[in-house]
């Protein structure tokens, strides 16, 4: 039986390597980067070590993750101590780049003021380890883990004070790491952090109105998502101005911002659903992209949200417009959209009710990303884009032979190759995630990693999934070898 299973696995592997439109790295430009991603709270662990103080994500997890799942990032993958091992795995795999985030409260524990020497040492060591192996560090400054001290002091992102403190924090990062880091992303998924953190209350800092999805103790779902996003955009623009004035001439780096992009398709061909789909794009995507490219929010948002939507002064508009050297996008799903104009008659409307549309997730294997990329190419001057996150989730303790993930990655990488042939200005692609990490929507129950970690194992051993070997072979322009399964079984440290 075991032999028959191995033969079957080998046959499936051959099918996956089928060169079916012969997916090859040679289809991509020579300067295109392939990598993998994580974020600080999700991978580092060592939450209470060496001077680090809590972030809003620590607080959220220790309070029960809005009663959605269990667990926290106190230990997670212990990347803080195992970074050398992890970087070696990246190098062996053949990654060009690694996208990670800096824990603001590890580097500057109170969010402002004194720098933590141990935090500074850790990030210097990590960056040096990456560059010594020829791996580009792509750094995100804020991946949903604002220092809790700033949340306590002035309610974090809903206060304009955050712009000054975030800029000062970025200044430290540029000064200390910018000689080796050339790619900086200011904020991860501005649109999702604002809506889910301040509207639905299902992610940090768990702020929402009583009528929203989570049991929040504070917040206003009608106003705070718009206010938080507004301040993120202002903070990003302030940081971009700082970098361009003080550092770019010497360091020659690039500043970007990240959004979650979604594929939208009308539920029916009725004019109502078609217009609602356009409206959903305005609320989810153009809410962030329009200020960065045009200097202002979409007209439909101004109309539906009214005075609850903050406005930019002329000076702010000029500062924000064209403040990105690249756009980082995360892509996972496509949704069908149907018109729901009745929601505009409700009082105390939420973000979704302002949008006046209902959304239903379509199967995960849908590759609508090519349409999303066409939109950016046609509507925004074909600005440079890095796909910062794209991946496939499975139950955490499922098989190391993750054929579904291989099929997913093959399909999406094929889609972006096609998009480049069609003129999209794509610069890089990062798989989420390098390791099984503490996931924001499911804790340790589901995983998207290329490497499996048994979180009950005190050594947190990294075990390559079949997708890790597949990705490595793709990066090295090797065909998938049917012996892969037996190699993994005989030597789990092969990679």
Q: List pLDDT tens digits, range 194-249.
A: 999 999 999 999 999 987 667 899 999 999 999 999 999 999 999 999 999 999 99
Higher pLDDT among residues 378 and 54, named by residue: 54
In a domain, 192, yes or no: yes
Are the C-beta atoms of residues 206 and 66 closer than 8 Å to each other?
Answer: yes
In a domain, 8, yes or no: no
In a domain, 380, yes or no: yes
In a domain, 17, yes or no: no
In a domain, 160, yes or no: yes
The lowest-confidence range among 9-13, 228-232, 418-422, 461-465 is: 9-13
Structure confidence by residue, pLDDT tens digits, 323-343: 999 999 999 989 999 999 999
Are the C-beta atoms of residues 145 and 105 closer than 8 Å to each other?
Answer: yes
Residues annotated as part of the active site? 189, 389
- Kindly report the pTM of this predicted structure: 0.91
493 contacts: CB under 8 Å, gap ≥ 6? none
Burial of residue 230, with CB atoms counted within 10 A of its CB: 0-12 exposed, 13-18 middle, 19 or more buried? buried
- 491 C-beta neighbours (distance < 10 Å), count: 10
Q: Give me Rg for the CA atoms of the chain.
A: 22
pLDDT higher than 80, residue 494: no
Boundaries of domain holding 113: 26-490
In a domain, 308, yes or no: yes
Q: Per the omega criterion (within 30 degrees of 0), is the bond before 486 cis?
A: no
In a domain, 219, yes or no: yes
Binned at pLDDT 50, 70 and 90, residue 12 comes out as very low
Structure confidence by residue, pLDDT tens digits, 42-96: 999 999 999 999 999 999 999 999 999 999 999 999 999 999 999 999 999 999 9
* Secondary structure class of 453 (helix, strand, coil): strand
Number of domains within the chain:
1
Q: What percent of the chain stands above pLDDT 90? A: 83
CA 111 to chain centre: 22
The two three-digit tokens of residue 74, written as one number: 């106190």
- 210 C-beta neighbours (distance < 10 Å), count: 11
Q: DSSP assignment, residue 261?
A: E
The lowest-confidence range among 78-92, 249-263, 359-373, 429-443 is: 359-373
Strands 254-266 and 326-339: parallel
Give the pLDDT of residue 9: 44
In a domain, 238, yes or no: yes
Q: DSSP H helical segments within 158-221, as ranges?
A: 161-177, 190-195
Angle, vertex CA 293, rays to CA 433 and CA 330, nearest 5? 10
CATH assignment at residue 202: 3.20.20.80
């Amino acid at each position: 039986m075991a032999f028959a299973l191995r033969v079957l696995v080998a046959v499936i592997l051959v099918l996956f390597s089928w060169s079916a439109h012969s997916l090859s790295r040679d289809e991509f430009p020579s300067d295109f980067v392939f990598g993998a991603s994580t974020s600080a709270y999700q991978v580092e662990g060592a939450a209470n070590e060496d001077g680090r103080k809590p972030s809003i994500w620590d607080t959220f997890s220790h309070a029960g993750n809005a009663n959605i799942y269990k667990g926290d990032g106190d230990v997670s993958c212990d990347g803080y101590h195992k970074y050398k091992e992890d970087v070696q795995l990246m190098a062996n795999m053949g990654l060009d780049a690694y996208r990670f985030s800096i824990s603001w409260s590890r580097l500057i524990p109170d969010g402002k003021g004194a720098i933590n020497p141990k935090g500074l040492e850790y990030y210097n060591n990590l960056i040096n380890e990456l560059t010594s192996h020829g791996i580009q560090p792509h750094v995100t400054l804020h991946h949903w883990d604002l220092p809790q001290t700033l949340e306590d002091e002035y309610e974090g992102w809903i206060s304009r004070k955050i712009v000054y403190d975030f800029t000062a924090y970025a200044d430290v990062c540029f000064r200390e790491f910018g000689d080796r880091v050339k790619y900086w992303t200011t904020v991860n998924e501005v649109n999702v952090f604002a809506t889910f953190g301040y509207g639905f209350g299902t992610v940090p800092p768990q702020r929402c109105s009583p009528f929203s999805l989570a049991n929040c103790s504070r917040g206003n779902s009608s106003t705070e998502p718009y206010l938080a996003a507004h301040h993120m955009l202002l903070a990003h623009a302030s940081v971009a101005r700082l970098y361009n004035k003080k550092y770019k001439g010497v360091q020659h780096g690039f500043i970007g911002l990240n959004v979650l992009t979604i594929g939208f398709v009308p539920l029916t061909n009725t004019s109502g659903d078609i217009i609602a789909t356009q409206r959903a794009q305005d609320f989810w995507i153009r809410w962030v992209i329009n200020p960065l490219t045009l200097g202002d929010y979409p007209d439909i948002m101004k109309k539906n949200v009214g005075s609850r939507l903050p406005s930019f002064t002329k000076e702010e508009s000029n500062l924000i417009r064209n403040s990105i050297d690249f756009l980082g996008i995360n892509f996972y799903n496509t949704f069908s959209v149907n018109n729901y104009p009745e929601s505009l008659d409700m009082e105390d409307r939420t973000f979704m009710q302002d949008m006046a549309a209902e959304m239903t997730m379509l199967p995960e294997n849908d590759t609508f990303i090519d349409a999303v990329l066409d939109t950016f190419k046609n509507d925004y001057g074909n600005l440079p884009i890095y796909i910062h996150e794209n991946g496939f989730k499975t139950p955490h303790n499922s098989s190391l032979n993750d054929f579904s993930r291989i099929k997913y990655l093959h399909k999406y990488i094929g889609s972006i190759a096609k998009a480049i042939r069609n003129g999209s200005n794509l610069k890089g692609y990062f798989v989420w995630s390098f390791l099984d990490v503490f996931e924001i929507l499911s804790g340790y129950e589901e995983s998207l990693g290329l490497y499996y970690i048994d979180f009950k194992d005190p050594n947190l051993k990294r075990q390559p999934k079949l997708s890790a070997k597949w990705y490595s072979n793709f990066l090295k322009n090797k065909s998938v070898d049917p012996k892969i399964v037996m190699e993994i079984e005989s030597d789990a440290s092969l990679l």
